[in-house]
């Protein structure tokens, strides 16, 4: 099963990927964030797409999620691993730690969030009780354990609209709602993957404490960049454990 990796903030290329070709897929939903890179990583076929573009120029609310997911499936992806930077809300989601969320709450608005809104013979409602693929999550956890990487095996991802960060009150509300982490791209990405029946899981990389937590006066972009360097190194190590075992 060919794995597609969607790289988020801090992961715009896959180190070690032996590139075979780049493919620009034109979709009925417009252009994806960029070409899909096909290649071999650890001896397995892998494709890669940078969610915000290869130069990180597309803000979260303007990502064409429909085109991205559609393009990956057209290009042959059979499962999708999303890498996503998040702010930690739960006490144990400290900067640098990885997590494999098992639930999601959608606080986004105005995004093109479904494939089922045109040329329908009938109205379609997909099941989304468990938004992330259990098998891929289990493989991620096994890979983390095998590589000695400390990762939270679950958690609820709260997807906000961005591009601004949240207020302290918004984060307190999200904590009351049960969110363990906050990011800006988890939805509609996860929902669209489900509509296409693409198994989908997220490796979240904690970049910062979410707004207002642990006495921080403001969220510092410099801290985020530094924490992401450590976090993304862990993601690369995780991929080195995950992919050969696929």
Ligand X SMILES: CSC[C@H]1O[C@H](OP(=O)(O)O)[C@H](O)[C@@H]1O
* Tokens coding 48: 């890669």
Interface map 145-164 toward ligand HPA (x if CB under 6 A): ---------------x----
Does position 85 interact with ligand X (CB under 6 A)? The reply is yes
Burial (Cβ within 10 Å: 0-12, 13-18, ≥19) of residue 18: exposed
Closer of 208 and 241 to ligand X (Cβ):
208
Q: Which of 102, 166, 189, 195 binds ligand HPA (CB under 6 A)?
A: 166
CA distances from 27 to 56, 67, 100 (A): 21, 6, 29
CA distances from 211 to 40, 69, 184, 214 (A): 39, 30, 14, 9
Q: Which of 4, 9, 174, 232 binds ligand X (CB under 6 A)?
A: 9
The answer to the question of whether 68 is labelled as a binding residue is: no
Q: Which of 32, 224, 238, 239 binds ligand X (CB under 6 A)?
A: 224
Interface map 174-203 toward ligand HPA (x if CB under 6 A): --------xxx-------------------
Q: Which of 85, 140, 151, 156 binds ligand HPA (CB under 6 A)?
A: 85
Report how far residue 200's alpha carbon sits from residue 133's, in angstroms, rounded to the nearest whole number. 5
Does position 82 interact with ligand HPA (CB under 6 A)? The reply is no
Closer of 68 and 206 to ligand HPA (Cβ):
206
Does position 162 interact with ligand X (CB under 6 A)? The reply is yes
Name the binder of 160 from ligand X, ligand HPA, none, CB < 5-8 A by kind: ligand HPA
Does position 86 interact with ligand HPA (CB under 6 A)? The reply is yes
Residues near ligand HPA, by CB under 6 A: 85-87, 160, 165-166, 182-184, 207-208, 210, 219
Residues near ligand X, by CB under 6 A: 8-9, 51-52, 60, 84-85, 162, 183-185, 224
């Amino acid at each position: 099963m060919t794995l597609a990796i969607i790289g988020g903030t801090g992961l715009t290329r896959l180190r070690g990927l032996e590139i075979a070709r780049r493919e620009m897929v034109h979709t009925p939903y417009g252009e994806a964030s960029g070409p899909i890179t096909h290649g071999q990583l650890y001896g397995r076929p892998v494709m890669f797409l940078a969610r915000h573009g290869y130069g990180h120029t597309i803000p979260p609310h303007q990502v064409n999620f429909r085109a991205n997911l559609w393009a990956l499936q057209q290009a042959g992806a059979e499962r999708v691993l999303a890498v996503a930077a998040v702010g930690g809300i739960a006490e144990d989601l400290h900067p640098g730690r990885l997590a494999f969320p098992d639930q999601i709450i959608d606080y986004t608005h105005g995004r093109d969030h479904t494939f089922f809104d045109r040329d329908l013979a009938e109205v379609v409602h997909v099941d989304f009780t468990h938004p992330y693929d259990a098998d891929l999550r289990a493989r991620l956890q096994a890979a983390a354990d095998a590589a000695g990487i400390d990762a939270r095996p679950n958690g609820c991802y709260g997807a906000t609209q961005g591009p601004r960060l949240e207020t302290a009150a918004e984060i307190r509300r999200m904590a009351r709602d049960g969110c363990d982490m906050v990011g800006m791209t988890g939805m509609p990405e996860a929902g669209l993957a489900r509509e296409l029946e693409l198994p989908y899981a997220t490796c979240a990389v904690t970049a910062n404490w979410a707004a207002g937590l642990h006495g921080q006066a403001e969220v510092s972009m410099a801290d985020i960049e530094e924490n992401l360097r450590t976090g993304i190194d862990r993601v690369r190590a995780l991929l080195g454990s995950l992919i050969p075992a696929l």
